[in-house]
Amino acid sequence: MTPTIATLSAHNPSATQADVQPVRALGRADWRADHPLHHGGLHHPTQARLLGAVRILFGLFFLVNLLLHFNPAYAAQFMPDMLRAARATGQPAWLGHWVDQVLAVFQLVGPARVLALMFGIETLLTLGLLTGLGFPALGWVGVVYELVLWSTIGGLGGPYVSGATDPGTAIVYALGFAVIVLTRAWQGASWWQGQARAPTRDALRLAFLLFGALWAFDAWWKWQPGFLGQMASFLSAAQVGQPGWVVNWIELFILVMQSIGPFALAVLAALTESAVAISVLFAHRLPLKWLRVALVLGLLYSLVLWTTAEGFGGPYGPGFTGNKGDVLGTTNVYGIIFLFLLAALWRPRRPVV
């Protein structure tokens, strides 16, 4: 299914010899020599399979979202939810005008046709993620589609008032599709047939830069009084409407928070997000070992957020979830992007002489 990958990056034309010959232990000054963000090198088949496995995981999440959207309750609430998101207190007036124009187009075309088109796009994206077919073109479709959702039913992630914590859900999904394109993650574990190539150094750097900018935005909001002074309320709100086991799980973290102190835990969260943002933004400045440590820290932190402050993306009901756009969550996709970047950094071990 996956073709043998043996194409050299234009940034590292001598990678063939480096892959077949032992290398001497690198000195401190030479840590960039095998760094993917400095030398693209070979796109190894194992690396391609790792990237493909993460893409399939993303596809499984997307499949669950699609099944949630097929519920008639989702279709019935889609346009009212769009209006509420655009006209919420604190949203800019121009966003309401934009959504009014979008809804006018929907009425002209017919709401049923628009929803059918949306479901068709989401079905194609799901199949593409699971099989690798249709990429990279389908990846760009995913980016545009998610950005349209972000600017309409997602309300651009706002309103950005006291207590805001992130830029919303759909923009993170858009970034996930962009990372697939930039890392060429459709090549491994897929039905795609073609000449496999390594992602370029500049493409990898752009993937890190975009994700780092997202984390920097998140971190900035965590330093605001609306977050630092309301840490307890975020966890308590995540318990509302949840099944008992989720309530008990979040309660465990509330007890930890109370033992540490809500303000101290909020500062720790802000420090963690700031450290992750800096590490990802300046990934090319970090030795590979420490960059991987930072990515694993970000992955674990994202999973903790998804299972506590986001309550596993719940509560769940007919055609809705606890997230804008009625999807499984936001920080779980952060975790998936961390896995993409970790897979992109994979390099075969070389014998040291």
Q: How far apart (Å, rounded) are the C-alpha atoms in residues 156 and 201? A: 31
What is the mean pLDDT of the segment spanning 17-31?
Answer: 47
Residue 105 CB burial class (10 angstroms; 0-12, 13-18, ≥19): exposed
pTM: 0.88
What is the mean pLDDT of the segment spanning 139-145?
Answer: 97
**Could you read off the pLDDT of 333-349 as tens digits, one per residue?**
999 999 999 999 987 77
Q: Which amino acid is at 179?
A: V
Number of folded domains that form the chain: 1
Domain contains 102: yes
Tokens of 235: 């966890």
Domain contains 32: no
Question: 42 φ, ψ to 5°?
Answer: -80, 145
More confident residue, 157 or 213: 213
Instruction: Choose the weakest-confidence range: 24-28, 32-36, 202-206, 257-261.
Output: 24-28
Domain contains 35: no
Confidence of residue 42 (pLDDT cuts 50, 70, 90): low
What is the pLDDT, as a whole number, of residue 7?
38
Q: Is the pLDDT of residue 53 over 60?
A: yes
Q: Is the pLDDT of residue 203 over 80?
A: yes
Q: Is the pLDDT of residue 17 over 50?
A: no
What is the pLDDT, as a whole number, of residue 164?
80
Domain contains 248: yes
Q: How far apart (Å, rounded) are the C-alpha atoms in residues 231 and 165? A: 11
Instruction: Choose the weakest-confidence range: 200-209, 214-223, 234-243, 334-343.
Output: 234-243
Domain contains 160: yes
What is the pLDDT, as a whole number, of residue 92?
92
Domain contains 10: no
Instruction: Choose the weakest-confidence range: 84-98, 170-184, 186-200, 269-283.
Output: 186-200
Q: How far apart (Å, rounded) are the C-alpha atoms in residues 244 and 235? A: 15
Domain contains 349: no
What is the pLDDT, as a whole number, of residue 325?
64
Q: Respond yes or no on whether the N-terminal peptide bond of residue 199 is cis (omega within 30° of 0).
A: no
- Which residues contact residue 25 at a Cβ distance below 8 angstroms, ignoring those fewer than 6 apart? 352, 353
**Could you read off the pLDDT of 302-327 as tens digits, one per residue?**
999 999 999 998 888 777 777 766 78
Query: What range does the domain containing 172 cover?
Result: 42-344
Tokens of 91: 């949203």
Domain contains 11: no
What is the pLDDT, as a whole number, of residue 21?
38
First vs last Cα of the chain: how many Å apart?
A: 36
The string of DSSP letters for 278-346 reads HHHHTGGGS-HHHHHHHHHHHHHHHHHHHHTTTGGG---BTTB-SSTTS-S-SHHHHHHHHHHHHHHT-
- Which residues contact residue 28 at a Cβ distance below 8 angstroms, ignoring those fewer than 6 apart? none
Q: Is the pLDDT of residue 12 over 50?
A: no
What is the pLDDT, as a whole number, of residue 75?
86
Contact assessment for residue 5 and residue 43, using Cβ atoms and an 8 Å cutoff: yes
